[in-house]
Amino acid sequence: MSNEYISDLLPNIKAMCDSEEKWRSKSLQDTIAAHKEEVEKLLEKANLFDIWSNQLQDSDAAKRLIPEIFMDAYTSIHFACYGLYKYAHICLRSQLETSLRLIYFSTHPVEFRWWLVGNEWYRTGLRARDVWGEGYGYFEQLPGIKRFEEICGEAYRLFQNARKVPKIYQTLSTYVHSGVFSFQTKSDLFSPTYRVEDFYKWHGNFAEVQSYINILLALAFEDRFPKMTKASKEKIINIGIESASHQESIKNLSGL
């Protein structure tokens, strides 16, 4: 923002703009200086939604929700680079939730149209927190996910045993509901600042969320994923999915 523009502002807005310019540029510089390769890789993960967007373009739900899923990932990186780790995590919860909704809505066009106009009768009618019902039973019933859970080691299962997805969802929810360990401010530090331990905590969660989203989309759209070009499938698996065990299971199921 130009100094000339700032000088014309009212005093509180001027103070805010002055201060923001300082802490934002310092946090961004410190983060990029320490983690440029890591941030680059996370951006590559976010860009995988270009492939999903292209592959699922005939789905109304995908057309509306994938841009939001991308934007949550992008904004999460943006916030984290400015030291706003709590808000970076909130974006991840939103991203995961929207991805689960995409899977549900892709085969529930009527419910999708209700949801688009804000008709959330399921909250009372189904007594459920979300469109897919209570818990994660809906996803466990999907044939692709069932097969994946069968061939995956117990320690790697998404919904059963290891409960990877419910666990990360719960972790991210503590940021939404402001659990004390997820506060943005610390007793000894108030301003948004690059902190290596907070960066790595967020970085791990970001990679984990992208990984589960890519796995779930590949399994839920099991008719579409194998039809992608070899290069696209390899990108999704090698860049998008974290654990070697998960990568192998997806390769196995998609005949790669």
Q: Do residues 164 and 218 lie in contact, with contact meaning Cβ atoms separated by under 8 Å?
A: no
Q: How far is the CB of 231 from other proteins (least distance, A)?
A: 5
Q: What is the DSSP string of 13-55?
A: HHHHHHHHHHHHHHHHHHHHHHHHHHHHHHHHHHTHHHHHHHH
Q: Do residues 129 and 176 lie in contact, with contact meaning Cβ atoms separated by under 8 Å?
A: no
Between residues 50 and 150, which has the closer beta carbon with respect to other proteins?
50
Between residues 57 and 119, which has the closer beta carbon with respect to other proteins?
57
- 63 near other proteins, rule: CB under 8 A: yes
Which range binds other proteins by CB under 8 A, 21-29, 30-38, 46-54, 125-133? 46-54
Name the β-bridge partners of 189.
186
The per-residue b/e assignment along 131-159, b for 16 or more CB within 10 angstroms, e otherwise, is: bbeeebebbeebebbeebbeebeeebbbb
Q: How far is the CB of 126 from other proteins (least distance, A)?
A: 29
How many CA within 13 A on the CB side of residue 242? 14
Q: Do residues 124 and 157 lie in contact, with contact meaning Cβ atoms separated by under 8 Å?
A: no
- 46 near other proteins, rule: CB under 8 A: yes
Q: Do residues 237 and 124 lie in contact, with contact meaning Cβ atoms separated by under 8 Å?
A: no
- 135 near other proteins, rule: CB under 8 A: no
CA distance 189 to 247: 40
Between residues 177 and 230, which has the closer beta carbon with respect to other proteins?
230
Between residues 63 and 167, which has the closer beta carbon with respect to other proteins?
63
Q: Computed over its alpha carbons, how large is the radius of gyration of the chain?
A: 20
- 256 near other proteins, rule: CB under 8 A: no
Which range binds other proteins by CB under 8 A, 8-16, 120-128, 181-189, 227-235? 227-235
Q: Do residues 88 and 79 lie in contact, with contact meaning Cβ atoms separated by under 8 Å?
A: yes
| Residues between 11 and 40 that touch other proteins (CB under 8 A) | none
Which range binds other proteins by CB under 8 A, 15-23, 41-49, 126-134, 186-194? 41-49
Among 33, 117, 231, 244, binds other proteins (CB under 8 A): 231
Q: Do residues 39 and 93 lie in contact, with contact meaning Cβ atoms separated by under 8 Å?
A: no
Q: How far is the CB of 1 from other proteins (least distance, A)?
A: 15
- 223 near other proteins, rule: CB under 8 A: no
- 67 near other proteins, rule: CB under 8 A: yes
CA distance 123 to 144: 27
Between residues 47 and 243, which has the closer beta carbon with respect to other proteins?
47
Provide the binding-site residues for other proteins, judged by CB under 8 A: 43, 46-47, 49-50, 53-54, 57-58, 60, 63, 66-67, 70-71, 74, 229-232
